[in-house]
A and B are shown apart, each in its own frame.
Chain A
Amino acid sequence: MITYCIAVWGEFTKFIGGRGGLAHWLMFGAALLCCILMGKSTRKKLFWPSALVLVFFFNPLFYAYVGTRFLSGVYWRLLWMLPVSFVIAFVLTELTFKVKKNIFRAAAVIAACACIILTGRREFSAETYSEKENAYEIPQAAIEISDIVMGQLWDWKESIIVPNELMCYIRQYTCAVTPLYGRNAEGFITNIEPAEASVFAEMSREEPDVELITDVAKEKGCRFIVFNTSFHRIPEDLTGYGYEQIDVVEDVYVIYRQIGQPD
C-alpha cells in the first residue's frame, strides 16, 4: 500500500513539475480552503467537486486497481479534472473585491498578479517557442529533403534514413517519404526491428558505421540516406558502399541515393 501511495505522490509531483509548481498548488490549496467560507454556491461549484477529485486521485486503491492497469504512465492526467486555475482566479477575484476603494483594488490586483508571476514560470519563452522556419512549423530541412526525394520517386513512396533530429518531422509534411524508423526507435508505442535499431544506434553516433547503415538500407529498400555532416563524421564518397551524393540541404544535410536504381 505504501508503494502505491509513493507512486501516486510521484504522479502528482510529475504533474506539478516538482518544487517549481509547488507555489501555485499551495495557492490552489489555500484558495480551496477559502471556498469553504465563500458561501453555499461556491462550496457546491468549486469546493466539493475539487475535494472529491483529490480523494479520487490520491486513493491508493484506485491507483492499484485502475491506475496501474489502464492509466499506466498517464495517471497524472486525472488531475485535469481539478479546476485549479478557475479556483485560484475566482478566489483572487473575490478577495480583491473585498477592497472597496478602486485604486487600492487595482493595487491589490497588481500585487496578486505579481505573486503569480514570481512563483510561476513563463509559458512563452525561448525554451518553448521559436521563430517559424515555415508555415508547417517543422524544420525547413525536413521539407527540402522531402521535396528532393519526392522529385525522384520510384514507387508511391520512398523509404529514407534521416538524422535523428528529423525523424519525427518528415511524415508531418508528406506520406510519400517515409523514415525507416520514427519515434518508435525510442520505444514509443511500437518496437522496431533489431536491424532498424542498429541503424538508429549508428545514426546516434558521431562516427557511424556507414557499412552497416548502407547494408541495412539496401536490405530494407531504403534508396535514400541523409547524414548531418555537422554531427556525423563520414567519408565524403560513399560510392564504395553503393550510394552516391545527390544533393546538400542547408550546407549540412547530405543526401545520398542508391546507385543503379532508376530515377
Chain B
Amino acid sequence: MNFRDILYMSILFVLVPMWIGYFWVVSLRLRGSVNRLLHAWVLGFVTMLAIAQVLLVPLVALHQSLTTALMCWEMALTIPALASFLCLLTRSAGQEGAFRERGIRQGNRSGGLRGAAPDSGGSRVWIVIFGVLAGILILLQAYIPARYEHRDDDDSRFVSEEVSAVVHDTMYWDDPIGSDQLYWNTGEVKKDLTSPWAMYVAMCSRISGIPPAVLSHTYLPFFLILLCYALYLLIGRVLCSENWEKIFLFLIFLSVLHLWGYTSTHTLASMLLLRIWQGKAVCASFLLPLLFYLMYQVMNRRCQKGWYALLFVAATGACLLSGIGIVTGPVVLFLYGIVDFMYHRRWKKTLIIWTAALPGAVCLAYYLFG
C-alpha cells in the first residue's frame, strides 16, 4: 500500500460516493451526522453501481472501448454530484435549524452518538467499550485481507478480463485465457454483458492507475469491507431501535460470526472475508443486505418516497455485480413485497416494490432468451 494509491482509493470509494449520496441524504431528510455520513456513503456507492450498469450494458453490447465507457460514466456521475452540490448550496441555516427542531420534537434522534447515548438505554462507559471493541474487530476484518494474500481460482477469469480491458482499452473483447479476440459481443459468457462488474473494477483501475490485480486483492477488500460494515451498522440501527450500546453489541456478534464463519467457502462470511473483490461476493455481502435495509425502511407504514426510488437503484446495481444478483434481487423484492402486503394490505405499495424488480427481470429475460 502506498499513500498515492490510498488517496485515489479514498476518493473513489469514500469521498465520491459520499458526495453523490448526499443527494439522497437531503432527499430523505435524514438527520444526525453519523447517520447522514453512513447513508451518504452506502447510498452513493450503490448509485454509482446503478449508473455504471445502465451505461456499461449497452456500451459492451456496442463493442465500445473502456475509455468511452469511463468518459460516459464520469459524465453521468456529474449529474448526481451536481444535484448534491445544489442541495448543499440551498441548505440554509434556517432550514437546518427547523429540521433539527422538528427532529427533536418528534423524538427523532437518529443521529450521532452524542444525541443518542444518554437516553437510549445504555450507559456511556459500556457504549464506549462495545464501540471500541466493534471498531477493532471491524478494522481487523478490513486489514487482514488487504495485508495478507488469499488466492482464488475465479480470479483467473475476472482479473484477467480487467487486465485485458485496461491494457487493450476494450470491454470483454479478449478471451480471458488466450487473449484472442472473441467474435461476439457478450464476453466469454453471456452473463458478462448483463453483469459487467469486472469492467467497473477496470474503470477504477484506469482512473487510479493501480493494476487490476493489486486493486482487487489489496485495496478493494479494505474499502469494501468497511463499506459493508457501514451498511451493517445501519441495519443494526433499525433492528436495535437506535440504542447505541445494542448496535455496537450487534456489530460485535456479527463480527465474531463472520470471523468464525468459515464452515464452507460458500457462506456469507467467506464471501465477505475471502473474496470481497468479486462481484458475487459484493452482491452477497453488500447488495442483498442493502435490499434488506431498504425494505425495512419501505415496510414502515409512513415511508418517504425516496426509499422506493432507492429500491430501483439498488435492484439495478445488483444486476451489475453478478448473475446471481439478477436472480436474487427480484426474488428478495418479491418475498419482502409479500411480507409487506401481509402487514399493510396496500396493493399499490406492493406493486411498487415488485416493479423495482424490473431491472433484474429485464437482464434475466435477456440472459434466458436473448
Contact = CB atoms under 8 A, between A and B. Distances in A.
B176 A182 contact: yes
Nearest to B219: A135
B262 A93 contact: no
Contact of B179 (A52, A168, A178): A178
B123 A24 contact: no
B150 interface: yes
A122 B214 contact: no
Interface string A91-122: 01110110000100110010011001100111
Contacts of A18: 264
Given A80-B283, A129-B150, A123 B258 contact: yes
Given A93-B240, A175-B168, A81 B260 contact: no
Contacts of B149: 129-133, 137
Contacts of B174: 175
Contacts of A49: 292, 295, 335-336, 339
A157 B274 CA distance: 32
The CB with the most chain B CB atoms within 10 A, among A16, A102, A137, is that of A137
A89 interface: yes
Interface in B169-227: 174, 176-179, 188-189, 211-214, 217-218
Interface in B113-170: 123, 126, 144-145, 147-151, 153, 155-157, 159-160, 163-164, 167-168
Given A109-B252, A182-B176, A135 B218 contact: yes
A49 B333 CA distance: 10
B328 interface: yes
Interface string A212-254: 0000000000000000000000000000000000000000000
A205 interface: no
A137 B151 CA distance: 7
A130 B149 CA distance: 5
B256 A113 contact: yes
A109 B155 contact: no
A102 B283 contact: no
Contact of A120 (B148, B212, B262): B262
A85 B258 contact: yes
B299 A45 contact: yes
B72 interface: no
Contact of A122 (B157, B259, B368): B259
B177 A184 contact: yes
B256 A77 contact: no
B3 interface: no
Interface stretch (A1-9, A68-76, A255-263): A68-76
Interface in B239-276: 239-240, 246, 249-254, 256-264, 266-271, 273-274
The CB with the most chain A CB atoms within 10 A, among B164, B218, B262, is that of B262
B213 A15 contact: no
B342 interface: yes
Nearest to A184: B177
Interface in B262-310: 262-264, 266-271, 273-274, 280, 283-284, 288-289, 292, 295-296, 299
B239 A86 contact: yes
Interface string A141-182: 000000000000000010100000001110111111011111
Contact of B335 (A20, A52, A106, A178): A52
Contacts of B213: 136-138, 172-173
Given A20-B264, A123-B269, A183-B156, 20 more contacts: A17-B266, A21-B267, A42-B239, A45-B238, A77-B280, A78-B328, A78-B331, A85-B258, A90-B239, A106-B126, A120-B263, A121-B261, A124-B148, A128-B262, A129-B149, A138-B213, A172-B156, A172-B159, A174-B167, A175-B168
Interface of A: 14-18, 20-21, 24, 42, 44-46, 48-49, 52-53, 56, 70-71, 74, 76-78, 80-81, 83-86, 88-90, 92-94, 96-97, 102, 105-106, 109, 112-113, 116-117, 120-125, 128-133, 135-138, 157, 159, 167-169, 171-176, 178-184, 188-190
Top 3 A-B residue pairs of the complex, sorted by shortest distance between their CB atoms: A17-B264, A21-B263, A120-B260
15 contacts: A17-B264, A21-B263, A77-B280, A80-B324, A90-B240, A93-B240, A96-B249, A97-B249, A117-B260, A121-B260, A132-B147, A132-B149, A136-B214, A172-B212, A182-B177
